[in-house]
Structure 1
Amino acid sequence: MKISARNVLSGKVIAIVCGPVTTEVTLEIAPGVQIVSTITSSSAESLKLSEGSNAYAVIKASSVMVGTD
């Protein structure tokens, strides 16, 4: 994965709260350090996110996006 954002943090999905439009995803990027992102529910579904899976927090300006390999 190549992107222009310089801040890419790998982590493990530790919580997913699904809603009809948005889904809240919590990543643990280090022991006791968590990042929470709200993404569209369709994006969460297409990324096939699940608790325990690995993902990335991609931070650029005020946005936090989640991606997988």
Structure 2
Amino acid sequence: MKISARNQISGTIVSITPGAVNGTVKIDIGGGNIVTSSITEEAIADLALVPGDTVTVIVKASDVLIGK
């Protein structure tokens, strides 16, 4: 599958926390860095995601906000 997003980072799922509609998936991308993604429970099931899976984090955003 080709996609336009160029920010693609490989990692390993370390945890999945279910929710009523969206679940939280934490992915270890190495170097002590964890990326957290909130995706639908339906997507988690469709992708058959489980801790230990190797996945690709794909970031496509028009805005990146930083607060302090």
| TM-score, length basis structure 1 | 0.84
* Structure with more contact order per residue of length (Cα contacts < 8 Å, sep ≥ 6): 2
Report % sequence identity.
38
Corresponding position: 1:2 with 2:2: yes
How many residues matched?
Answer: 63
Q: Deviation digits for residues 17-65 of structure 1, max 9, x if unmatched?
A: 01120010000011311100000000011000000011111001169xx
Unaligned residue ranges in structure 1 (runs of 5+) = 64-69
What corresponds to 1:32 in structure 2? 32
More strand by share: 1
Pick closer, same or farther for the CA change 1:37–1:62 going to 2, 3 Å.
farther
Highest CA radius of gyration, 1 or 2?
2
The DSSP-based 3-state class of the residue aligned with 1:51 is: coil
User: Gaps (5+ residues) in structure 2?
Assistant: 64-68
Residues 16/62 of structure 1: CA separation in 2 closer, same or farther (3 Å cut) = farther
Letter in 1 for 2:49: L
Give the aligned partner of residue 44 of structure 1.
44
